[in-house]
Amino acid sequence: MPEPILELKAITRDFGNGVIVNVLKGIDLTIESGEFTAMIGPSGSGKSTLLNIMGLLDQPTSGELLIQGNPTVELEDSDITKLRGQTLGFIFQAHHLLTAFSALENVMMPAGVRRGSFSKSIRSRAEDLLDNVGLADHMHKNVRNLSGGQQQRVAVARALANKPELVLADEPTGNLDTKNADIVFELLQRINDETGTAFMIVTHEERLANRCERIIRMLDGRISEHSPSTE
């Protein structure tokens, strides 16, 4: 059996100095390649915090995080950056596109910053990705001039730019109406089918969570339910 993409062991995360808040209270979780997982839970239960730690955007207070079997604590910034660029893709709730750039440039950027410059192959891959999310006609627009649904699809295309093993999506459909939410969600499912990229999708909507292979329920900094159960 291949290494899991990502393993969390007894992860905790405290915030604040003085009054300390235990936001994550011991998380154990394993993500295998190709899994399509939903994370659901009330607001403030620590979903985004956990996702940031999984994405190496934040450091846990204690516990261990392995990526493809490699421990990540005490890694240099440059190594973390490299690991993140190679294995992970991100889709944020507020889509967080780079407003100074066009849709195409946003999708080219992950490969661009990794390589140090844009190239023909980066460009043609970005064009394919945008085509794949149905934005072939809007590639050269500044992202500010796109609708919310279009922006989120640019974010999906961008998350896939480096061919990541795992895409971490924090409420990718949170700002969208039902119709657009379905379009984006189905897009993610299709990519998962076609490329075998694993997804971890944070959502508030049971309706969408129930369409995932696996559901993790967060409650007050702990995983309260895991279905199908791993035990």
Ligand X SMILES: Nc1ncnc2c1ncn2[C@@H]1O[C@H](COP(=O)(O)OP(=O)(O)OP(=O)(O)O)[C@@H](O)[C@H]1O
Burial of 68 (C-beta count, 10 Å sphere; 0-12/13-18/19+): middle
C-alpha 90/C-alpha 85 separation (Å) is 10
Per-residue interface string for the shown chain with ligand X, residues 25-64, x marking contact by CB under 6 A: ----------------x-xxxxxxx---------------
**Closest distance of CB 53 from Mg ion, Å:** 13
Helices 120-132 and 148-159, axial angle in degrees (round to 10): 130
CA distances from 150 to 10, 39, 141, 173 (A): 38, 24, 11, 11
Q: Does 162 bind Mg ion (CB under 5 A)?
A: no
**Closest distance of CB 210 from another protein, Å:** 28
CA distances from 63 to 13, 16, 37, 121 (A): 9, 18, 22, 40
Whether residue 71 is preceded by a cis peptide bond, meaning omega within 30 degrees of 0, is no
Binding at 11: pick from another protein, Mg ion, ligand X, none (beta carbon under 5-8 Å per type): none
3-state secondary structure of 209: helix
Q: Which residues contact 72 (CB under 8 A, 6 or more apart)?
A: 56, 65, 66, 80, 83
C-alpha 220/C-alpha 122 separation (Å) is 42
Comparison of 16 and 116: residue with beta carbon closer to another protein:
116
Comparison of 45 and 162: residue with beta carbon closer to Mg ion:
45
Residue of the chain from 37, 45, 48, 197 that contacts Mg ion (CB under 5 A): 48
**Closest distance of CB 164 from another protein, Å:** 10
Tell me, by CB under 8 A, how many residues bind another protein: 32
Q: Does 23 bind ligand X (CB under 6 A)?
A: yes
- Kindly give the pairing relationship between strand 88-91 and strand 62-67: unpaired
Q: Does 19 bind ligand X (CB under 6 A)?
A: no
Binding at 44: pick from Mg ion, ligand X, another protein, none (beta carbon under 5-8 Å per type): ligand X
**Closest distance of CB 33 from another protein, Å:** 20
Comparison of 82 and 190: residue with beta carbon closer to another protein:
82
C-alpha torsion sign, points 73, 75, 76, 80: negative
Comparison of 49 and 162: residue with beta carbon closer to ligand X:
49
Which residues bind to another protein, rule: CB under 8 A?
Answer: 48, 52, 55, 57-58, 77-78, 81-82, 84-85, 90, 92, 94, 96-101, 109-110, 112-118, 158, 161-162
Which residues bind to ligand X, rule: CB under 6 A?
Answer: 15-16, 21, 23, 41, 43-49
